[in-house]
Amino acid sequence: MTQLPPQSGEGAAVKLGLVIDLDTCVGCHACVIACKGWNTENYGAPLAETDPYGAAPEGAFLNRVHSYEITPEDAPARIVHFPKSCLHCEDAPCVTVCPTGASYKRAEDGIVLVNESDCIGCGLCAWACPYGAREQDPSEKVMKKCTLCVDRIYNESLPEEDRTPACVRTCPAGARHFGDLGDPDSDVSQLVAARGGYDLMPELGTRPVNKYLPPRPKDDEIDVLAPLLEPVAQEPRGFLGWLDRALERL
Amino acid sequence: MHPAASLLIFTTASGLGFGLLALLGVGLPRFDGLSAWAFYSLGFALACGGLLASTAHLGHPERALKAFREWRSSWLSREAWASAATLAVMGIYAVLHLLWGLRVAPLGWLGTALCLGTVVATSRIYAQLRTVPRWNHWSTTALFLGYALSGGALLAGQVTAALLLLILTGGAQIAAWMDGDRRFAARRHSIPSATGLGAPGGIRQFEPPHTGSNYLTREMVFVVARKHVAKLRVIGLALAVLLPVGLLVLPFSHILAALAVVSHVAGVVVIRWLFFAEAEHVVGLYYGRDPVRR
Ligand code: SF4
Ligand code: SF4
């Protein structure tokens, strides 16, 4: 069924999702590997590789970490690591384009999933997703995407602390948070409110459930004592001064 | 977007086929007997060949019938229904005409409407995608219809109609190119809107998430050099519109008409290649590809 589930009153529905803290992420890619490991051994077709030990290794991943350099005019440049997986959009375009009903959004918790035995591998859902969250498996030829570890979070045979997505469980920096973003009192909703969590590409109207927390501003002053330090020579003197003048004359 | 051969053949051949069948449905050209057989066969061969080619794009072609399920929300599913219905209705119309010499006009009109509906559904698969601003516009549908009908008219030997349609479609294509070139910027997609970070020009990709390519970069982050785009547009338009128009205004001969068809089809293939290759998907922004400020 590729129609989106009806929304039962604004704010009433459970919306499971992730909150990703761009201030804290150190770009170690541990979440990428934990995700690949769990999702290769569990739910659905394993995530395949092509040419894994050759010159051009390539494969399907459900989570990837980009890195950007930001150069503000009035502050030093900085690097921001940017993990990205399915945002479990409320208005998920990947679901409505699917001709077979393989792509669907669960009414009970809002998780967007693919029923792999119905997928014809047309790729249209990957085209419809703005975020590059869907990749076709190179050997199974079905669409793969983040399941929010649906086979962990409700799994009573796991210890309670493991009933969270593999990426969240593994992140050594605590940059990933999992919870119900439909409940304004949940920890994740509070975190989003406190830190000004935002949507990616809001202009496309997908209404992602996952939120991103912006990097905190860095301290402006490098050292409070820095202004008291003796200034270094502005004009080169001695040998360097001579060299400077000699080169100048050439 | 990656210009896959299967999709080029699909959109070009099925467009031509349904364009020709649409004209046959309204009784153009008025042939009977052997020539009628030839026209119907050509129409069905193109339409079916195109549809068959489209299944080569699927990861699991053996499950293709499942695509009929979600017609309520999916244009791809609607396209499947529309093409099946068209082939059925036009099939009955053709059999009645060819075997019993009966032209059931209302059935033909229904077939024509279904042919056009199929082309619209095909175009909507692309035009619906908000992630590809260049496609996400009604002009995509107008052009798919324009090329289908002008190709159909050329194949059906309808000289006046073909001339008119070619000129209209060519003009619309130029307008769509000019408008499409501005749409990504007009929609305000940028690396800052994609990431929520920095200001335009104040952010760049530092390192990609993976060393090689992946499904996304191969499917969606396809870039053609601007100078090639300009040349290919001229070549495509010359072959698809200008040359056929020139050949059609000359005194009619079968050789010139055939040449016009060949040139038109070659031009449409070039233009379709560009349709895919030029189309920028917003996911490229995450890979540092900002088509507005490249
Ligand atoms: S992030 Fe992409 S795959 Fe996930 S729900 Fe949104 S559109 Fe669909
Ligand atoms: S690739 Fe599979 S899940 Fe995606 S739209 Fe096609 S059939 Fe649906």
In chain A, domain spans: 16-213
Closest CA to B171 of B150, B153, B155, B198: B150
The b-or-e profile of B152-189 (16+ CB within 10 A means b, else e) is bbbbbbbeebbbebbeebbebbeebbeebeebbeebeb
Q: Which amino acid is at B218?
A: R
Please provide the average confidence, as pLDDT, over all residues in chain B: 95
Chain B residues inside the 8 Å CB shell of A74: none
Q: How far is B59 from chain A (nearest CA, A)?
A: 4
| Residue B204, H or E segment | strand B203-207
Return the residue whose CA atom lies nearest to atom 2 of ligand 2: A119
| ipTM value for the complex | 0.95
Q: Which two tokens stand for residue A23?
A: 């201030």
For A70, the closest of B1, B203, B211 (CB atoms) is B203
DSSP 3-state of A184: coil
Please name every residue paired with A20 in a beta bridge, in sequence order, or none if there are none: A176, A212
- The residue among B1, B57, B58, B60 with the most chain A CBs within 10 A of its CB, best to mutate, is B60
Distances (CA, A) of B36 to B20, B25, B103, B256, B257: 12, 12, 12, 21, 18
- Tokens, residue A133: 């969250």
- B136 lies within 8 A of chain A by CB: no
Average pLDDT rounded to a whole number, residues B202-217: 93
Is residue A222 scored above 70 in pLDDT?
no
Q: Quick check: B235 pLDDT over 90? A: yes
How close, in Å, is residue A53 to chain B by CA atoms? 13
The C-alpha atoms of residue B232 and residue B276 are separated, in whole angstroms, by 13
Inter-chain residue contact A120 with B283, CB threshold 8 Å? no
Q: How is A86-120 classified by DSSP, letter by letter?
A: ----TT-HHHHH-SSS-EEE-TTT--EEE-TTT--
At residue A220, the pLDDT reads 65
Neighbours of B287 (CB within 10 A): 18
User: B216 to each of A127, A196, A245, B287, how far by Cα in Å?
Assistant: 9, 30, 56, 10
What residues does A136 pair with on adjacent strands?
A: A143
Half-sphere exposure of B222 (CA within 13 A, CB side): 18
How high is the pLDDT of residue B30? Answer: 87
Q: Looking at domain B5-57+64-198+208-287, does it have CATH number 1.20.1630.10? A: yes
pLDDT tens across A159-206, in order?
A: 999 999 999 999 999 999 999 999 999 999 999 999 999 999 999 999
How would residue A142 be classed by pLDDT, with cut points 50, 70 and 90?
A: very high
Among A27, A213, A17, which residue's Cα sits nearest to residue A133?
Answer: A17
Mean pLDDT along residues A30-43: 95
Written as six digits, the tokens of B207 are: 């390192």
> Of ligand 2's atoms, which has the minimum distance to the CA of residue A115?
3
In the predicted model, is pLDDT for residue A86 greater than 60?
yes
Least confident of A109-113, A139-143, B220-224, B238-242: B220-224
Across B134-143, average pLDDT: 98
Which residues pair with residue A18 across a beta bridge? A178
Q: What percent of chain B is modeled with pLDDT above 70?
A: 100
Let me know if domain A16-213 sits in CATH 3.30.450.40: no
Chain A contact for B191 (CB, 8 A cutoff): yes
Average pLDDT, chain A: 92
Greater pLDDT, B242 or B225: B242
Residues in A closer than 8 angstroms to B192, CB to CB, are none
**How does residue B223 score in pLDDT terms, banded at 50, 70 and 90?**
confident
Domain boundaries, chain B: 5-57+64-198+208-287
Ligand 1 site, CB within 6 A:
A 86-89, 92-94, 112, 129, 131, 133-134, 145, 206
Nearest ligand to the C-alpha atom of residue A205: 1
A76 pLDDT band (50/70/90 cuts)? confident
Please give the pLDDT value at position A232. Answer: 67
Q: What is the pTM of this model?
A: 0.91
B55-80 pLDDT per residue, tens: 999 999 999 999 999 999 999 999 99
Q: Is the pLDDT of residue A9 over 60?
A: no
pLDDT band at A1 (very low <50, low <70, confident <90, very high): low
B79-122 pLDDT, tens digit per residue, is: 999 999 999 999 999 999 999 999 999 999 999 999 999 999 99
B220 → chain A, closest CA residue: A127
Going B128 to B134 to B137 to B140, the CA torsion angle's sign is: negative
CA–CA separation, A157 vs A143, rounded Å?
Answer: 28
Chain B 47-66, CB below 8 Å of chain A: which residues?
Answer: 57-61, 63-64, 66
Per-residue confidence band for A224, with pLDDT thresholds at 50, 70 and 90: confident
Tens-digit pLDDT profile for residues B155-208: 999 999 999 999 999 999 999 999 999 999 999 999 999 999 988 789 999 999
